[in-house]
Amino acid sequence: MESRIEVFTNKKFADVLGNEAKNEIENIGITSVEEIRIVQIYLIDSNLSEEEIRCICKELLTDKLTQEYVFFHGISERESSGQKKDEENVSYSIDVIRKRGVMDPVESTVMKGVKDLGLHVNSVKTARRFLVTGVLTLEQIETIANKILSNRIIEDVFINKDTKFPGNGKGVIDSVFRKNTIEILAVDDTQLRSVSESRQLSLSLPEMKAVQRHFEGLGRNPTDVELETIAQTWSEHCMHKTLKGLIEFDGEDIDDLLANTIMKVTKELKKPWCVSVFKDNAGIIEFDEEYNICFKVETHNHPSAIEPYGGANTGLGGVIRDTLGTGLGAKPILNTDVFCFGPLDVPQKDVPDGVLHPRRSFKGVVSGVRDYGNRMGIPTANGAIYFDERYLYNPLVYCGNVGLIPKDKCEKKSHKGDLILLVGGRTGRDGIHGATFSSIGLTQESEVVSGGSVQIGNPIMEKKIADALLVARDRGLYNNITDCGAGGLSSAIGEMGEELGVIVDLEKVPLKYEGLNYSEIWISEAQERMILSVPPENVKEFESIFEQEDVEAVFIGKFTGDKMLRLRYKGEIVADLEMGFLHKGCPRIKRRAISRSPCYNEEPKISKKTDYGKDLKKILSSWNVCSKEWVIRQYDHEVQGGSVLKPLQGVDNDGPGDACVVRPLLSSKKGIIVSNGMNPKYGDIDAYHMAASAIDEALRQIISVGGTLKRVALLDNFSWGNIDKPEYLGDLVRAAKGCYDTALYYETPFISGKDSLHNEFKLGDRTISIPHSLLISALCVMPDVTKAVSMDLKEPGNLLYILGETKAELGGSHYYQIHGFTGNTVPKVDTTIGKRVMDSLGSAMGKGLVRSCHDCSEGGLAVASAEMSFAGGYGVELNLSSVPVDEGVSADDVILFSESNSRFIVEVRPQNRQEFERIVRSIPHGCIGRVLENDLFTVFSRSRECLISEKIYDLKKAWQSTLSL
Amino acid sequence: MRDGVPEELKPKVVIIRTAGTNCDYETRFALEKVGASVDLIHINQLVKEKGLLDLYQMAVLPGGFTYGDDIAAGKVLANQLRYHLLEDLLRFVAEEKLIVGICNGFQVLVKMGLLPGMSGLHASRGELEQTFTLTYNDSNKFEDRWVYVKAFSNKSVFIEKDTILYIPVAHAEGKFIERDEETLDLLFQSGQIVFKYVDKEGNESGYPWNPNGSVGNIAGVCDPTGRILGIMPHPERYIEPTQHPRWTREGLKDEGDGMVIFRRAVDYMREKMWKEKRVVGKR
């Protein structure tokens, strides 16, 4: 019998979630909503009596103080707890329920809670009802339902219906087992293409022909699951076939761009502390005598574009599983997240159909990351957010995770005879074709055709896996592990079994619901699953550890040693592929790349002013520079207790820190520093210098907080437009070369990376590409965290220095941006000077001579020193005449706002002046001012005129008021 | 015996964990630092092996998101304890042992009715009545920020009146509210309000000093015996001097403010062990 339980907030209490929804509705311009109250609905299928259902309502589902309930048991009965639900004045009700198969972790929690009460229910489904009061048109209510309250990709919406929700529908989508073969032998090119397209394989014609040839040799057609496996394995997402393929670049033949640039840095530097690079789920470097540290950052752009919460949620969940699946399993200790959105104040009318408003994407992504990270108990202590109009159509979500791993657990290898165990969540139709979907562009229809590839995560399941896994790891119970990510079992088992060969019985995979065919089981991207290679003698102990944590661990196959990938379903062989062909058979593609004709944007002439205070405030309040406190506080950045430098710093704990410093082990003073660098605006001018600047920026942040270049590892993450366009690919080649030159000189090896190469949006016949977006993430090992330096000014009377040379480099700067220009003079990196600056500063910090330090990045010297000033709560007086400049610099605004690389503002005590100056004497430096006991931020020009005189609280207000949602 | 004291002479503490527990590492670190011997035990095991809890002198329900905070924060674990471990827990309390719930653990203790437990908890399950709740912050957001809390009572064994601690909160459902005025009045009179949120100067104040809108700025309460403590902020996150958000300005202290709570707990247990030994000796 089905019961419907409705739980709602007692009228005495504010409905905070309802108020939040009302607020969002006002933001899209609908102001006539008076009130929204939310009803939480539970649909329970059980054989329980009315009394027992009432017990569930009272004891489990309602807060005794703040909530009320009504329930409908069977058809007619209705029971209420105290005051009646007051629906008479409600104008509309909107019911939102997750589509069948979409993850809802609450359902299993309710099942568990009911079991604790000593009762049993067959199934639970949840829904929400929004009771909306106010004078609204039906059109408005539909807008509210679709734009604010639900996402049709994952949810069904019913307006003003006393909905009889669809039941759980067991078996409704059942399919009959039939082994399918696909005709590709006797077909022509057009038909081959159409097989690829109609089955969403995303394979090119040459690739399809390679498959055809292979099966001609075998004298048979492939089965559907064989084709799927090949498509998953050969996808850009899994194989990086562009960056590892052949590229003809302006007449130069590049065989494997990654090997010739990014990976070459590492090879040439030969750092002994690089433990595992570019082969495992994450790169590993040495930490101390007992432990190593691993780091990985991934993109999850396309899913986040169409379902921001779920996309970001599973993006972070996925990269955490990378850490869990690195070596024999690392403990996740830190998250870092970088997002790119359209400006949040875009009018709704400028947002095309099929695209979510950036405010919605932003809030969804932040909540998705928050809920996964916080629930996993992993601090999110570092990140960045960038805004640009072009991200409106295709926002970017980078999620990163750092892990701690014992030194003797970094290598893994399956043995012949090992059993394949699948642990974690159950398998459903989630995310079918995610790997291939991510390898094509978005269109207005993406949200329709790609709905299946969007999922919601279950962080508690992943936490349980992590808890069990680390116990099993320490007892040495398995030989190999990897996570199920894009491509699901297909990729995980396909990769793990490459050397040995495997046989898998697909019917053994535990399913969320009946009805999946064998192909769907094999390629489903259901979250929170991992694959392990367990020697038969350990299986019992292994299973009991997982059972203790309430996690399923199921034996589904075996490593055979015959180098074949064999899949069986109910005893019948449905795939029989050579591992060699699967992993090496993909024809290498040759792409053409050209360097863009040099881009000559007009170099603007901005007339001289007598007061730059307004410009400074405008930059401080711009989307990219403004305070991100609204986001940062929603992340638990202190769980696990390791935080040493938090993201918010200063006298009121609200200034913008550079990099975060974390102690992975509370018993040791050794720490790690994590930072990110990215400058999409520079890429509009020159991708090479954009890449160099991103590395310089990430390293500057490391140095700013007390790190040194001695032990820094880098990650690259390319998010690019359509690389079928030779000039886009040319820019990518130049960016990779920029990475090579810069990282090699700074002696900072790359240890891992990722790429996402089809970030464009088709709007009618127009194509909008994202800006070139190369994210560089840096990880530094710090011997003593008590030497860390924060960015807030510390004491009046101290001296302020600038280190590094200021050049006329306003191209792509925020100063140009607020005046509506891009310009052409992009900041370049002079690695020779840059390295000397960073090394000198590092040694001054090591001697304890630096009280505060901030790097000059967005907004240049003016913004960096203003931030230091208001974070510390002290005024400053600066003289531009002492700033070391390049001979091309002629104007004060250039000195104020140029974004030249490798520069730092440093606070030094007067008594340390001599010693500090001795250390920096051979690099460009200048003592540019002092910290004052007052609240004035004052800057004098080279001719001693006052250029800026602002109260620090006004500057802080400008910086803080933009992002308060 | 990291600190030279044999394990068997140390007070024994159990951190009760389950799906979604996540402050166990730093809580354990804090307790070991003040000389306790700590075991992490899954609730499933405590339920299976009745009597296991008896081996310990203190139980900690740490922070986290048990069962995802689905339905309501702490609710599912509260029911699990009430329906499956109540006898063990009540015996634990009767033997004058200590219980601390931090953040999610506080939510659990309140929702199972063990805190503030004004109607007494000596009898059966029926008398464990929930009289307060912890609900959504006024800001309707999860917030991580440092707060000052001041001890307003000497009733709790964990803290001395007028002590001010600077420690962080990190929660979405920390607003402490009463069932009715009567229960609130009773709580005020009973001295069971252990901690209140205060501002920098030690005065009661509004947001963000009171980060969630709790009635009476209440941040932590104890039971009538003072041996059960629930606290929303995280004392275990300010143990090491480098955890302070402004140590780079204000210098490194000898130890974090949160230490006092764990140290007093261990002192209590040591004294109790000593007394019990003496009693045994006299016989």
Inter-chain CB proximity A460 and B20 less than 8 Å: yes
Q: How far apart are CA A588 and CA A45, in angstroms?
A: 54
**B74 contacts in A (CB within 8 Å)?**
none
Which two structure tokens, joined as six digits, stand for A288? 């101390």
Q: Do B75 and A641 touch (CB under 8 A)?
A: no
Query: Which of A638, A789, A852 is the best substitution to test chain B (most B C-beta atoms within 10 A)?
Result: A638
Residues 187-206 of B with CB under 8 A from A: none
Low-confidence ranges of chain B (pLDDT < 70): 1-3, 119-127, 279-283
pLDDT tens digits for range B80-113: 999 999 999 999 999 999 999 999 999 999 999 9
Residue type at A811 in one-letter notation:
G
pTM of the predicted model, to two decimals?
Answer: 0.94
pLDDT along chain A (965 residues), means of 10: 90 86 88 92 93 94 92 66 56 86 87 94 92 90 89 85 49 59 92 90 92 95 94 85 90 94 97 96 97 96 89 94 97 97 92 89 95 96 95 95 98 97 90 58 51 77 96 97 92 94 96 85 93 97 95 97 96 95 91 82 88 97 96 96 97 96 97 97 95 98 97 97 92 97 98 91 87 97 97 98 97 96 95 97 97 97 98 98 93 96 98 97 97 97 96 97 87
Q: What is the pLDDT of residue A176?
A: 60
Please list every residue in chain B whose beta carbon sits closer than 8 Å to the beta carbon of residue A854. Answer: none
Contacts (Cβ under 8 Å, ≥6 apart) of A825: A603, A808, A809, A810, A811
Instruction: Identify the three-state secondary structure at position A656.
Output: strand
Q: Is A693 helix (H, G, I), strand (E, B) or coil?
A: helix
Q: Which amino acid is at A556?
A: I
Active site residue B244: no
Tokens of A459: 């962080």
Distance, in Å, from the CA atom of A184 to the CA atom of A164, rounded to the nearest integer, reads 46
Angle at A8 between CA A6 and CA A11, to 5 degrees: 145
Pairing mode, strands B98-102 and B58-61: parallel
Task: Tell me chain B's radius of gyration from C-alpha atoms.
Answer: 18
B141/A contact by beta carbon, under 8 A: yes
Phi first, then psi: what are they for A577, rounded to 5°?
-115, 145
Tokens of B42: 């899954």
Q: Which residues have CB under 8 Å from A637's CB, separation 6+?
A: A379, A380, A381, A643, A646, A647, A660, B144
- Edge-first strand order for the sheet with A712-719 is A643-645, A660-662, A671-677, A773-782, A712-719, A750-756
Q: Which among A370, A548, A792 has CB closest to B42?
A: A548
**Cα-flanking dihedrals φ and ψ of residue A559, to 5°?**
-85, 120
Q: Is B23 in the active site?
A: no
Three-state DSSP class for A490? helix
Instruction: Please state which architecture CATH assigns to domain B7-282.
Output: 3-Layer(aba) Sandwich (3.40)
Question: Chain A within 8 Å of B148 (Cβ-Cβ)?
Answer: no
Contact A372, B68 (CB under 8 A): no
Give the pLDDT score at A174: 45
Strand-strand pairing, A529-534 and A564-569: unpaired
Whether chain A has a CB inside 8 Å of the CB on B22: the answer is: yes
CB contact under 8 A, A464 and B75: no
Establish if B71 touches chain A: CB-CB under 8 angstroms.
yes
Point out which residues pair with A398 in neighbouring strands.
A299, A338
CA dihedral A494, A498, A502, A508 (to 10 degrees): -20
Q: Which amino acid does the sequence have at A197?
A: E
Which token pair is A743? 């990282």
Label residue B120 exposed, middle or buried (CB < 10 Å: 0-12, 13-18, 19+): exposed
Helices (H), A549-665: 579-584, 613-620, 629-632
The DSSP secondary structure of chain B, one letter per residue, reads -TTSS-GGGSPEEEEEE-TTB--HHHHHHHHHHTT-EEEEEEHHHHHHSTTGGGG-SEEEE-SB-GGGG-SSTTHHHHHHHHHHSHHHHHHHHHTT-EEEEETHHHHHHHHTT-SS-TT-SSS-GGG----EEEE--TT-S-EEEEEEEEE--S-STT--TT-EEEEEEEESS-EEEESSHHHHHHHHHHT-EEEEEE-TTS----TTTSSS--GGGEEEEE-TTS-EEEESS-GGGSSSGGGSTTHHHH---SS-TTHHHHHHHHHHHHHHHHHHHHHHHH-
Q: Among B44, B67, B248, whose Cβ lies nearest the Cβ of A109? A: B67
d(CA B22, CA A276): 29
Burial, A75: exposed, middle or buried (Cβ in 10 Å; 0-12, 13-18, 19+)?
A: exposed
H or E segment and range at residue A216: helix A205-218
Q: Which amino acid is at A752?
A: S
Name residues 106-125 of chain B within 8 A of A (Cβ). Answer: 111
Distances (CA, A) of A821 to A374, A684, A753, A825, B179: 40, 12, 32, 12, 60
**Residues A99 and A42 sit within 8 Å (Cβ to Cβ):** no
Sequence-separated (6 or more) residues with CB below 8 Å from residue A265: A739, A740, A743, A744, A748, A749, A750
State the angle between helix axes of A224-233 and A488-496 in degrees (0 to 180), rounded to the nearest 10.
70
> Inter-chain contact B67–A370, Cβ cutoff 8 Å?
no
A372 contacts A332 by C-beta, under 8 angstroms: no
Cα A316 to Cα A370: distance, rounded to the nearest angstrom: 9
Give the C-alpha separation, A15 to A7, whole Å: 12
Interchain contact B146–A (C-beta under 8 A): yes
Q: What are the DSSP E strand ranges found in A687-827?
A: 712-719, 750-756, 760-763, 766-769, 773-782, 799-803
Residue A655, φ and ψ in degrees, nearest 5 = -85, 160
DSSP reduced 3-state for A424:
strand
- Rounded Cα gap, residues A135 and A140, in angstroms: 10
Is residue A594 within 8 A of residue A784, CB to CB? The reply is: no
Q: What is the DSSP letter of A595?
A: P
B244, HSE (Cβ side, Cα atoms, 13 Å): 21
Establish if B67 touches chain A: CB-CB under 8 angstroms: yes
- A200-227 per-position pLDDT tens digit: 888 999 999 999 999 999 999 999 999 9
Minimum CA–CA partner of A112 in chain B: B76
**Cβ–Cβ of B71/A113 closer than 8 Å?**
yes
CB-based contacts of A476, cutoff 8 Å, min separation 6: none
B175 to each of A66, A370, B232, how far by Cα in Å?
A: 12, 20, 9
Between residues 82 and 101 of chain B, which touch chain A (CB distance below 8 Å)? 83-84
Residue in the block written with tokens 């040319």: A730
Q: Between chains, do B130 and A667 touch, taking CB under 8 Å as contact?
A: no
Q: Cβ separation of A653 and B146 shorter than 8 Å?
A: yes
* Residues in chain B within 8 Å Cβ distance of A20: 140
Which of B75, B180, B242 best probes binding to A when mutated, by most A CB atoms within 10 angstroms?
B242
